[in-house]
Amino acid sequence: DTGVSQNPRHKITKRGQNVTFRCDPISEHNRLYWYRQTLGQGPEFLTYFQNEAQLEKSRLLSDRFSAERPKGSFSTLEIQRTEQGDSAMYLCASSLENTEAFFGQGTRLTVV
């Protein structure tokens, strides 16, 4: 499968725990985006990278969220001290510069 890959597909965690998600973009795509989607809503922008540089981070993103793309390939999104409001689908997308973005299947997070 040469598409965007996300792991894990599902994550259930207790409130207060830390979680980390991984995204493997399409090979050679230099842009990588993270979005969050709640039921019945469109994807909400979280952050994006060009190569290893994090170019923008949403003001909606609290300090508990951090993302990295250390070698310009895969990326990780970490949520510290999870809260019930963090329950959502976390989507990753990748693209070449100035071209369409392709989404992964997402990681569904449930905080109990």
Applying the rule CB under 8 A, the residues between 40 and 99 that interact with other proteins are: 40-45, 48, 55-56, 91, 95, 97-99
Q: Find the shortest distance in angstroms from Cβ 107 to other proteins.
A: 11
Label residue 35 left, alpha or beta by phi (over 0 means left) and psi (-120 to 50 means alpha): beta
- Residue 76's beta-bridge partner residues? 22, 68
Query: What's the rounded Cα separation, in Å, for the pair 33 and 17?
Result: 24
Applying the rule CB under 8 A, the residues between 18 and 47 that interact with other proteins are: 31, 33, 35, 40-45
Number of residues that bind other proteins (CB under 8 A): 25
Query: What's the rounded Cα separation, in Å, for the pair 64 and 109?
Result: 15
List residues binding other proteins (CB under 8 A): 4, 31, 33, 35, 40-45, 48, 55-56, 91, 95, 97-106
